[in-house]
């Protein structure tokens, strides 16, 4: 077995991205309401933090044009994508304002909620922290909505979307 190693730094960012890509993650679409209308972003930097209180986190890239509206939002919704929701995830990875392509509605709090998702976590911003080229956003979950037919989650691994299989 051949093994290589490197010290992460400016000259090895591509190698670090490749190494981190070996860790399969789920895919979420995060939404919020802005003065311009609903906004969405696709992310794979999502995890649970605490059950009591119910906290989750996700990390938008500082360089993203959608970063500031999410960092300043008081509320956001995290949609856990299923394997059948790949087109939704790809759509919002490209365009965060084009909500006419997929079914959605407003929650009681006025936040955009996508119809296509395994689970939706409606959150209030709890904390935020600098995280290098990303911002770590922690949300307190106020409500959970889930589909009756949960199915398999959409997975991101080695730079590609896929599905979980046994």
What is the structure's pLDDT at 22?
Answer: 60
Which of 27, 29, 52, 48 lies closest to 40, judged by CA? Answer: 29
- Assign domain 25-157 to a CATH class: mainly beta
**C-alpha distances out from residue 123 to 5, 17, 89, Å:** 40, 29, 19
What is the structure's pLDDT at 99?
Answer: 94
8 Å CB contact between 30 and 49: no
Supply angle C-alpha 106, 44, 108, rounded to 5. 15
What is the structure's pLDDT at 165?
Answer: 63
Helix and strand counts by DSSP (H, E) for the chain: 3, 12
Q: Which residues of the chain have pLDDT under 70?
A: 20-23, 164-166
What is the structure's pLDDT at 161?
Answer: 77
Residues in contact with 12: Cβ distance below 8 Å, sequence separation at least 6, in sequence order:
6
What is the structure's pLDDT at 122?
Answer: 97
What is the structure's pLDDT at 162?
Answer: 75
């Amino acid at each position: 077995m051949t093994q290589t190693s490197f010290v992460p730094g400016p000259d090895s960012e591509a190698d670090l991205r490749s190494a981190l890509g070996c860790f399969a993650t789920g895919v979420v679409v995060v939404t919020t309401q802005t003065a311009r209308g609903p906004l969405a972003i696709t992310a794979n930097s999502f995890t649970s933090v605490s059950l009591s209180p119910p906290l989750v986190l996700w990390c938008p890239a500082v360089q993203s044009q959608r970063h500031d509206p999410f960092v300043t939002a008081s509320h956001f919704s995290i949609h856990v994508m299923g394997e059948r929701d790949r087109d939704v995830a790809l759509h919002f990875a490209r365009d965060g304002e084009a909500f006419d392509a997929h079914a959605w509605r407003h929650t009681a709090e006025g936040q955009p909620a996508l119809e296509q998702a395994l689970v939706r976590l409606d959150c209030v911003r709890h904390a935020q922290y600098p995280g290098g080229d990303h911002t770590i956003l922690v949300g307190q979950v106020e409500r959970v909505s889930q589909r009756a037919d949960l199915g398999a989650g959409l997975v991101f691994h080695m730079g590609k979307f896929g599905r979980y299989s046994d």
